[in-house]
Structure 1
Amino acid sequence: MRINKQQILAICKKLDQKLTKYRFLAAGGLNECYLVTTPRARYVVKIENNKGYSEREHKNLLLATEKLAPKVYLFDKSGKIIPKTYMVQEFLKGKHPPIQLSNDFIIKMAKWFKQLHSIKSSQIEPNERKRIYSLGHWANQSCNKLKKIQMPINQDLRKQIEDRFQTTLVLCKENNDLFRSRKTFPLVHGDPWRENVFIEKKGIRLIDWEFAGFVLGERDLIIFIRAYNLSNQQKALFLKTYGYPQTTIARKKINVVAQLLTCSDLLWLLERINSIEKGKVGKRQQQRTKREAIKKIRKILSKSK
């Protein structure tokens, strides 16, 4: 939904601020954002598009604190100003990470994750606990999802995907109880891509905490390594700085979770292709978007062997 000036003025009143100007920033499946400028500060107003995610993000931001994430100034689900839940956050002014990564940035991110993952809980969602304590169950869930997805792709690529899922299933069954001894789980961001990372003078902070939660810390480590395409040397530096054990069992844990996340990535891309086939993507974008998705699938399959 698009909001009007009167609604923005009402939000500014709650913040005890006077409006200078505002503009639309961006929109996605989960929310849409506006930049609000006042004489004293700039704010981001995030309006919920997918029920439940704003409340989840708000809780995660309060746990992460301002050292790791934007400050929250207002959370409102009353529906009095805007009929949807919205949140007012601090506008971050830092820069995104460059394509060519320095060792200094990698070290800082490793320390950032270490600090985030020090926030732990023994209380996690029942389905998540079942998957962590039974990796075979986790992999089987992925295989069942794959069976339900129509794959409008060539037979050779389909076979490669199916083989990858079966290989992961066998690996997970062989290591079914690998994480059963874990009693507490860290707060994981889950989406540390470049556009969500802000390098500031005082340190690094991340935005978009909708997918954060208490799960396996290995998820963040693997996603970061893949998102930034770290070399073997950079990966070693990152894991060593983080303090991840360099034992055989630790390497096995990283590998198993990496294969499970590969399956999740493939499922997401296949669902994306299905959306294209069903006409849920504009006609002008359909062929280009499908080609891009297939290209990503091939890249994932080649890199994660």
Structure 2
Amino acid sequence: MNIDLHSYPPFSGKEIVGPKLLPQQGYSNENYIFYVENKPYLLRKFKLEDRNRELEYRVQLLAYEKGIAAQPLILDLSKNLMVCEFLEGEHKTSLKKEDLARLATVLKKVHCLQTDAEVMQLETMFGTISDGLKEAFSAIETFPDEPVLCHNDPNPKNLIFSASGLKLIDWEFAGMNDRYFDLAAVSVEFDLDLLDEAYFLASYFRTEGWEKEKLEAYKTVYKALCEQWFENNT
């Protein structure tokens, strides 16, 4: 990789080892690890050109300040890269009750972050809308809008469980959306059964009630978006 990391103030004049391509890669970025004074850092080279990387950086910084994300250090749009601290931890494909409670707490913190981004219009993101999607959007319209800052991609690869707590990574899809979108995504991605889903929702809403029909509609939307995304990007 032809990038001079010494040119960035945090690493100027320091010994750098790497960067080295990580064995596990995502779909949206090329991920590298490098070390400065024995501390690991993550370098992400952007693959997708349709993301608002400035918003991603701002949101990740807000999340870092709440203790739920890695600290972002550098955003260089001229070289299509971002550098942040490297998080050590575990990705889980199934969640125990204590994990569900921790995830509910983290998402609640995400949903309390403030940004001036426009609310996403999910219907406009589809090339074609099936009858099932039409029914889902019709169902959603019967409920009040609840726009909050959402991660929008809380899949197992984007959750890191560590001794310092649960943290979210890869914020490139973050934006203003209905909070039920994140909740539905968790239920879909972790294939929650009815009992675990109810426990997760109770952990999130606490004394509030929740709308099962709204959640199911957002599950349909989330699944369709994922299917379309993978068709277009893999």
TM-score range, shorter chain: 0.7 to 0.9
TM-score by length of 2: 0.83
More strand by share: 2
Structure 2 residue aligned with 1:20, among 17, 21, 26?
17
C-alpha distance 57-241 of structure 1, shift in aligned 2 (>3 A): same
Q: CA RMSD in A?
A: 2.8
1:242 to 201, 204, 225: 204
Name the structure 2 match of 1:173: 138
Q: Secondary structure at the match of 2:170?
A: coil
After TM superposition, the structure 1 = structure 2 runs for residues 1-305 of structure 1, keeping only pairs within 5 Å, are 3-4=1-2, 7-11=4-8, 14-25=11-22, 29-51=27-49, 52-66=51-65, 67-77=67-77, 79=78, 84-97=79-92, 99-121=93-115, 123-125=117-119, 128=120, 138=123, 142=126, 145-146=127-128, 165-170=130-135, 172-173=137-138, 176-180=141-145, 182=146, 185-243=147-205, 245-246=208-209, 250-268=211-229, 271=231
Q: How far off is 1:14 after superposition?
A: 3.9
- Mapped partners of 2:135, 2:91: distance in 1: 39
Q: Which runs of 5+ in 2 are unaligned?
A: none
Instruction: State whether residues 6 and 12 of structure 2, in contact with CA within 8 Å, keep that contact through their aligned partners in structure 1.
Output: no
CA distance in 2, matches of 1:193, 1:170: 25
TM-score (norm 1): 0.66
| CA shift in 2, pair 1:240/1:14, >3 Å | same
Per-residue deviation at 1:29?
A: 5.0
Percent of pairs with identical residues: 22
Cα 1:120–1:252 shift into 2, 3 Å? farther
Counterpart contact for 2:91–2:159, Cα < 8 Å = yes
Pair member with larger Rg: 1
Is residue 187–residue 197 contact of structure 2 (8 Å, CA) maintained in 1? yes
Kept in 2, the 8 Å contact 1:57–1:212? The answer is yes
For residue 198 of structure 1, give the secondary structure of its aligned residue in structure 2.
Answer: strand
User: Residues of 1 paired with 2:194 and 2:81: CA distance?
Assistant: 42
What is the CA-CA distance between 1:28 and the residue it aligns to? Answer: 5.1
Instruction: Check whether the contact 2:139–2:214 (CA below 8 A) recurs between aligned residues.
Output: no
Q: Distance in 1 between matches of 2:108 and 2:40?
A: 30
Q: Which runs of 5+ in 1 are unaligned?
A: 132-137, 148-164, 276-280, 282-305
Per the alignment, do residues 171 and 44 of structure 1 end up closer, same or farther by CA in structure 2, a change over 3 Å counting?
closer
Aligned to 2:141, the other structure's residue is in SS state: coil
For 2:169 and 2:47, the matched residues in 1 are separated by 17
8 Å CA contact retained: 2:70, 2:86: yes
CA contact (8 A) 2:5 2:11 kept: no
